Amino acid sequence: MNDNANATYPLPAGIRSRMVAGINGLDMHVLEAGHETPGRPTLLVLHGFPELAYSWRKLMPLLAQAGYHVIAPDQRGYGLTTGWDGDYDGDLAAFRPLNLVRDLLGLLAALEITAVDAVIGHDFGSPVAAWCALLRPDVFRKVALMSAPFAGPPALPARNAAAAPDIHAALAALPRPRKHYQWYYSTRTADGDMRNAPQGLHAFLRAYYHVKSADWAPNQPYALASWSAPELAKMPTYYIMDLAHDMAATVAPEMPNAAQIAACRWLTEDELRVYSEAYARSGFQGALQWYRCRTSGRFNAEMEVFAGRSIDVPALFIAGKSDWGPFQKPGDIEAMQTRGCTRMQGCHLVEGAGHWVQQEQPERVAELLLPFLRERG
């Protein structure tokens, strides 16, 4: 393990950056807070897309002040972590959910940590955290999921089940033709579309973060009735895109003006520059491989081994009240609370936050997390 103070990460006081080598083929970049005092209980926090370990910079000091050692890795495909293949035609299997769990077990082993008090995941980090808790409850003793509900492992196919309707054909056949963003992210062109966005990468990310936040007034989410094209098309175009548009074109019309950018205290221009410089270096393809694992269905069979299993450690769900994430897969938030997690301790929607809840409202997120973390399991 080698210390790596990285100048591109303007970190708050009390957070350090370092590299941990030899983790399941990776050299993993991690941020840590509360590391000065040995023996503290540990929290592992997992970012989503298009984010970084840096996305936890506002929450980590609050948790460290409460007595925790907080570890935030740049996950496989992201940031300063190296050793992953960013080629579209590379080894997709390295990015499948079970291998992402293996990455995290390897990181803990390298740090000589046998168990964490909780694993906390946001966005695509949420299902990874969920799989951690489902597969290794002895290591991950509690789980907090943010923005993305976990309904449980995929079910085994029913005998003689009718083929599901083609949702993509149905979306494309709407009077306003549409497509699902996860399948767009799985295309060969998505990385280049965003990395080489006509408005520039920095401006693309500004618009993307803005349109999914509580700062964008049209974000007024609600539960959808079904997984059907007319219902899905009620979501904003950053989820259900216009068929002819890429993501850069989708978010460009909602670019905030200079006054709105100056007023955005949860993501300043200097903070956004950390992301834009990181993705300029790495591109998006490593991160997009996660979506391809999901949409391809290639790894469903190994996950179906756990069909019917639930998360049986204490669980918590937190999302922004202005976040469509909890509702993008109709029924998942209900299934999480009834069968996905058997010891659900709360399901909270935070005022004044959209999708980036731990960045938009870190103090409120800490207020919800800390009683859950302190409660004896």
Torsion 279-90-189-185 (CA) sign:
negative
Question: How are strands ordered across the β-sheet holding 26-33?
Answer: 2-3, 15-23, 26-33, 69-73, 42-46, 118-122, 143-146, 315-320, 344-350
Tell me, what's the pLDDT at 4? 35
- CATH 3.40.50.1820 residue ranges of the chain are 2-153+299-374
CB 29 within 8 A of CB 15: no
pLDDT for the residue 160 = 77
Count Cα neighbours of 125 within 13 Å in the Cβ-side half-sphere: 32
Q: How many CA atoms lie within 13 A of 67 on its CB side?
A: 8
**Cis status of the peptide bond prior to 314, with omega within 30 of 0:** no
Give the architecture-level CATH label for domain 2-153+299-374: 3-Layer(aba) Sandwich (3.40)
- DSSP code per residue over 354-368: -S-HHHHSHHHHHHH
Q: Say how far residue 373 (Cα) sits from the centre of its chain.
A: 20
pLDDT of the residue at 161: 75
The string of pLDDT tens digits covering residues 240-277 is 999 999 999 999 999 999 999 999 999 999 999 999 99
CB proximity list for 245: less than 8 A, separation 6 or greater: 237
The residues of the chain scoring below 50 in pLDDT are 1-7
pLDDT at 8: 55
**Residue 201 in tokens:** 């990468």
